[in-house]
Amino acid sequence: MPTSAKPQDSRSVPPSRPLENRTPRLLVADDQPHIHEALQLLLRPHGYRLESAKSPSEVREALSENSFDALLIDLNYTRDTTSGKEGLDLLSEIVAVDSNLPVIVMTAWGNVELAVEAMRRGARDFIQKPWENDRLLAILRTQVELHHALQRAERLAAENRLLQVQGRPEFIASAASMQPVLEAIARVGPSDANVLITGEHGSGKEVVAQTLHALSLRASRSMVAVNTGALAEGLFESELFGHVKGAFTDARTDRIGRFELADGGTIFLDEIGNVPIRQQAKLLRVLESGEIERLGSSRARKIDVRLISATNIDLQAACSSGQFREDLLFRLNTVEIHVPPLRERREDIPTLAIHFLRRYASRYRREVAGFDNSALQVITQYAWPGNVRELEHTLERAVLMCRGHEIQPADLGLNLQRPQAQNFEELSLEAVETLLIRKALERFQGNISQAAEALGLSRGALYRRMEKYGL
């Protein structure tokens, strides 16, 4: 293929949205001036800033003086050479210095063997001249976004190492929509104020609660978490307040309740909106008096707990319809923190995905280092009705199913999102249940009660199925 072949007209590709707030910086290495000119014409309207190098030595000099978001390097620099050795040796040098820096190689003399060798040495992708504009733009966008995600993950890992020394949980949140959450946590975390955390199922409300506890003066004591939505009504008092021997048929010994376990620390009541109205009065009495009575006992016990609660239900609407006590809501939400769903914080998806990949690759001792380009696109474009919890479960499964060093789209198991109706007969019962539950959660924006009613299940039955399928 002749080196004088010109790339297709860049005017055919409309400018895309900016990759990030800062302009992505690319280093282009090629000995042909017209290649630099063509890339400038194509990439500048798409928000890239390009710097040029005409030889491996100029590449080394540029890398020593500046930082870049990606490199586009030719594999041949000396006239009449087609072996690609110059570019391959340069590629090996770059990867040895910074393995996270994405390098895309390009050559007019490309062949399968050369492409395979470049990828083996650490190239992220391969472009043959004349290139296809759409493919080049897609590769650059994917690789720059992944590079930014890796940088954020490294920063967060370093920050989390410091935070963990102080007993704080890992909390990944760099999206603009998460800034109000971070500001609220910083303000109210050190206080004893009751906090109500709202947001869809699986959006990370428990991590917010753990962070609030870790920032408080109670951090050295326990945070006791209770999923109140999953408690059977008959066990509510026994679980929360304890019972004495003989209080009911199966009460063979005294039992301490969750509030007593949390004495001096924090109690986290998840799915508070699903507490039956009759039990709400008992919970309100404890919050007002600061005292609990074990079921079957007449002796009050003084407790000192900070209450953090969470729900995916609109409690104001529930109060208006008579399903939730307004006086209890006043006790719960001294401060309210709303956690946005994952689809409204898409900037965090690559960083979260990398975080979960590393966690489960370490846990299961799997040598999985990253994502195939198409897998990363699937992850960032998927709706995630189950939010962060679904993303975590998906990455855990992907690490276990992955056969190579990179996660592939098939490893994610997300193909059930849009199955054709005629394919239902080919699905297992578990696959159909998973699909229907996902659809119901997406339809009702994570509202468990409404999704359960639509599916003809009790809340408890839906919770059990969601736990079974990792939703």
| pLDDT tens sequence for the chain (471 residues) | 333 444 444 434 444 433 445 688 899 988 888 889 899 999 989 889 999 888 888 998 888 888 888 999 888 887 666 677 888 888 888 888 777 788 998 877 556 677 778 888 888 888 888 888 998 999 898 888 888 887 777 666 655 544 443 445 677 888 889 999 999 998 999 999 999 999 998 899 999 999 999 999 998 888 999 998 778 777 888 889 887 777 677 767 778 889 998 999 999 999 999 888 889 999 999 999 999 988 888 788 899 999 999 999 899 999 999 999 999 999 998 999 999 999 999 989 999 999 999 999 999 999 888 898 888 888 988 889 889 999 999 999 999 999 988 999 989 988 544 444 445 555 566 667 777 887 887 777 677 778 888 888 877 778 777 777 666
Q: CA separation (Å) from 227 to 12, 295, 309, 326?
A: 55, 19, 10, 21
Domain assignments of the chain as residue spans, ordered by start: 10-150, 175-340, 343-469
pTM here is: 0.62
How far apart CA 398 and CA 185 sit, in angstroms, is 32
Respond yes or no on whether the N-terminal peptide bond of residue 130 is cis (omega within 30° of 0): yes
Q: Are 337 and 215 in contact (CB under 8 A)?
A: no
Read off the tokens for 235: 């066990």
Specify the fold of 10-150.
Rossmann fold (3.40.50)
Q: Which CATH number applies to 175-340? A: 3.40.50.300
Q: Are strands 291-293 and 300-302 parallel, antiparallel or unpaired?
A: antiparallel
Q: Are 351 and 117 in contact (CB under 8 A)?
A: no
Q: No. of H helices and E strands in the chain?
A: 19, 14
Length of the chain: 471
How far apart CA 152 and CA 147 sit, in angstroms, is 9
Q: Does domain 343-469 have CATH number 1.10.8.60?
A: yes
Same fold, 10-150 and 343-469: no
